[in-house]
Chain A
């Protein structure tokens, strides 16, 4: 029975969150807790020659200062430090030795009875360095660009496809050409909640860890391997997360430090990072892209070249899919796509909402806009002309692709038909008004996961899986799926997540959780249903004695005969008959790889944007935006809309405001506070509109969902940059478009 799926059900965790009942990693009250304060490196490269800790240690209440000099022996091999999202290379090990690899590197942990004391003691510690020259300036080291190392990560993030046709010839022969260099700055995730771990030291050296992470089992794996502990002695809990955007895909260094201190001191320890320290680990990498497009006069795109150069650290090869989209979105017969890395003295970049997608697609979509302008063809028109239902690189049809409908409905809602194609054609006083649009695409993936479904002694349904909810609404949609699968009222269903003791789930990211864990929840509930039906059939005088599973349905917490729904057994009765014992079932859902292999699978979107630009000041406001999304089945229009709105806001942020600025004198990000690292405020956000176009997909996964976490952001930056061009006649290829670039 479909009662809840597809309905705008309120967040099941909403009340807990707004009333403060939802606890975050740093909020757990633990007896005898001591506090750690992280000291960060002031230089970007070199060696620590001396750390003076005496003065700090003399303060009453300061317990210990951990540094590379006194840390215990830990795992030897890199492999032990690899978490589930580790790129190829040698993971950073906090306090490993005296070597400094990046500015802000954690070099000591001060542990004291109170947080204030630890923080004060930290200010008394003197560190001396032998400084070496660092290289952090991306543009200056482009000549060092090289191919990324391949590793397990390349399964999920395949390298660029082989060239198609012959780009050079086709481009040279193309009567209409555009080319440009697109740049975007580094960005930090900056979720509201700072990274924190509360490590509870229990009897027999067991640890229960409240950690901010997008994968409780990922943190468990990491801690177990690094500290040589068995899984059963390490439990990681992460029930609520105050945003993460990808930053929680890898265990951050506060986890390592808190566990190290707890084990050495045999006490419970908490370590929280400061906002400034939130700028000392993974970030979206600075990327430079060159794009060349060739087309015939009628707008058929015949050639594309897309070369991307991205930064990584010296120790790991972080990669993302930047250029491959260019081979997927348009059926261009001649294409050459490359992706290269430049290792610098920075921390390894890290997946950040639509990693690679919101890097590569905006560059491509600006280039397409440039081409449309040069050809004198409407930008939507040009995209329709070069539409494809196949992913040409994979040489597979899309499992579903309602992008055409996104264009149509988005354009209609926006009023695109009234657009005067001429740049600078609309103004009001000093204000230039421009309209732009762009396409978005993101992978629709599914992984294997497990879930447990339990009919409890009081006849309620409890479902769990070790996934995470970073605010996207996972709690809510899983509850909806479970309630519908077993025909339970939603109030009687409890979905739990974020505990390493729960059935296996992969790290939560890449918009795959709805499909991955949703499928597992569905299967677990179906299996539980089968079991319950069998039990019902065996009951004395069972009305189902001669019925098959196909003959019944689950509704209102009952199993009912389809032919006569008044013939029913309540789930509650089954538990009672079971001697009052709960009934449970744990199952695994695995994607049907054989079927999936035959299709390309993506979510699509189209964004339409209006901007107002002050022609003297260069200030840009997004006054109106419509995003139409083809994202498969929408499980919950309310949480889904919020996801897309959030993505759109971030798209505005990326296009106009957001930028981590690194000073190369010091190799250090300088605007490391939320006063100077700008993200939109309410006054920046005006009319945002979301459309979900109908898209039925029977292939992607049993639920027909594609995931909505990232697709909302992908199309926005280019739509804004294109609107700015339309308003001003200026093509800004370097994001964010701050006012100085338009003066």
Chain B
């Protein structure tokens, strides 16, 4: 761990201003990810700008009939919020499938978006990792890659290879719900559709998302449509709680007269970002629930999936999870 200075701004402008004017400065919210990474020397911020005094810690109605989740609201308060539980139960379930009660009490919604991969090599300075040290190589690709990605990986050039996953549960639900991320930077405020917030590793695996330096997430907007009736979140992992997803699936359906009228499927634990595929989702539209071909949708969603040895099982596991989640969401299967 390196020495760092610490600043706790009282308003948004000084938070952004301070971050921009100090080289190597980083925001800190709940600290549940950043501090761990600092202890391992993976992150070495020169300054911590503690944003916990800022006022983004509420949940409000939006004009469009949706909800605005403050970036500094904790994961626990969000998941147990009445409006979230009633109108966006998928999100509530996904959040509660993550981490542990203690962590969720500290973790913030903003921080959750930025949490970094759990790739073992990323965490261990003794091994190469393009994400941590651009150009050093990818330790995982020929190593122990049980928890790694099967979709959208970068594996062609050694100096940009990366098969890491984004580990969040919350983000999988947010992706399915078409949430919008609100950020503010020196240039003012902008919104980022959730699908564009995280990115695939491509030629720059060290970049997790599309945020610009100095931009701060202030809120996450949920559209009016919350799929409170037909939804499912399945998380498969190595123990019953307190483990990251090997594969997770968020499904949200709209069903009218036994026909599927809207369908969202997002996968977690399989890619560098929550994985969605609109054309696979479209296959479901208009299908009758009772005879819908979920298997083909699962095939389409995982098309092009590639295993790297230890994680090859995820391809089949993901398909089975997609089918089960669709069945649960459509109420063809009981939800445990």
Contact = CB atoms under 8 A, between A and B. Distances in A.
A123 interface: yes
A673 B241 contact: no
A671 B120 contact: yes
Given A42-B126, A120-B3, A673-B123, A681 B240 contact: yes
Given A119-B1, A665-B139, A672 B241 contact: no
B323 to A, nearest CB: 8
Interface in B129-166: 139, 142-144, 146-147
Contact of A116 (B1, B121, B333, B334): B1
B317 A682 contact: no
B306 interface: no
Given A663-B143, A670-B143, A617 B123 contact: no
A684 interface: yes
A678 B1 contact: no
A665 B1 contact: no
Interface in B229-279: 236, 238-244, 246
Contact of A738 (B120, B238, B241): B238
Nearest to A670: B120
A123 B239 contact: no
Contacts of A684: 239-241
Nearest to A652: B239
A680 B240 CA distance: 8
A673 to B, nearest CB: 7
A300 to B, nearest CB: 41
A668 B1 contact: no
A205 interface: no
A34 B289 CA distance: 69
A268 to B, nearest CB: 23
Interface in A649-680: 656-657, 661, 663, 665-666, 668, 670-673, 675-676, 678, 680
A682 B241 contact: yes
B314 to A, nearest CB: 8
A429 B236 CA distance: 18
A671 B236 CA distance: 19
Given A116-B1, A429-B334, A663-B143, A678 B120 contact: no
B331 interface: no
Contacts of A120: 1-3
A657 B2 contact: no
B contact face: mostly helix, strand, loop, or mixed: loop
B320 interface: yes
A672 B124 contact: yes
A120 B44 CA distance: 11
A346 to B, nearest CB: 15
B324 interface: yes
Contacts of A430: 324, 333
A213 to B, nearest CB: 26
Interface in A672-708: 672-673, 675-676, 678, 680-684
Interface in A107-166: 116, 119-120, 123
Contact of B317 (A43, A661, A671, A740): A740
Interface string B66-96: 0000000000000000000000000000000
Interface string A396-440: 000000000000000000000000000000000110000000000
Contacts of B143: 663, 665-666, 670
Contact of B139 (A617, A663, A675): A663
Identify which of B125, B147, B236 gathers the most chain A CB atoms within 10 Å of its CB: B236
B242 A681 contact: yes
Contacts of B125: 42
Given A123-B41, A671-B120, A675-B118, A740 B313 contact: yes
A123 B127 contact: no
Interface in A8-48: 40, 42-43
Contacts of A386: none
A670 B148 CA distance: 14
A398 to B, nearest CB: 38
A663 to B, nearest CB: 4
Nearest to A431: B336
Given A683-B240, A684-B239, A739-B246, A666 B139 contact: yes
A621 B240 contact: yes
B321 interface: yes
A739 B244 CA distance: 14
Contacts, number: 94
A739 B317 contact: yes
A27 B276 CA distance: 50
Nearest to A659: B238
A281 to B, nearest CB: 16
B239 A666 contact: no
Nearest to A736: B238
A738 B147 CA distance: 13
Contacts of B189: none
B316 interface: yes
Contacts of B124: 276, 668, 670, 672
Interface in B285-336: 313, 316-317, 320-321, 324, 333-334
Contacts of B243: 678
A272 interface: no
B34 to A, nearest CB: 15
Nearest to A682: B241
A670 B239 contact: no
Nearest to A656: B239
A682 B313 CA distance: 27
Interface string B92-107: 0000000010000000
Contact of B239 (A672, A678, A743): A678
Contacts of A665: 139, 142-143
A683 B100 CA distance: 11
A684 B238 CA distance: 10
Contacts of B320: 616-617
B207 to A, nearest CB: 24
Nearest to A123: B41
A38 to B, nearest CB: 14
Given A670-B120, A673-B123, A739 B236 contact: yes
Contact of A668 (B127, B147, B246): B127
B316 A743 contact: yes
B313 A743 contact: yes
Give the interface centre of B120, B147, B334 by most chain A CB atoms within 10 Å.
B120
Contacts of A219: none
A661 B240 CA distance: 20
Interface in B41-63: 41
Contacts of B317: 617-618, 739-740, 743
A275 B241 CA distance: 21
B293 to A, nearest CB: 17
A570 interface: no
Given A670-B127, A683-B240, 13 more contacts: A119-B1, A120-B2, A120-B3, A123-B41, A429-B333, A617-B321, A663-B120, A666-B126, A668-B124, A670-B124, A678-B239, A680-B239, A743-B313
28 contacts: A116-B1, A120-B2, A429-B334, A617-B320, A617-B324, A618-B317, A656-B239, A661-B146, A663-B139, A663-B144, A666-B126, A666-B143, A670-B124, A670-B127, A670-B144, A671-B120, A673-B123, A675-B244, A676-B147, A678-B243, A681-B100, A681-B240, A683-B240, A683-B241, A739-B238, A739-B313, A740-B313, A743-B313
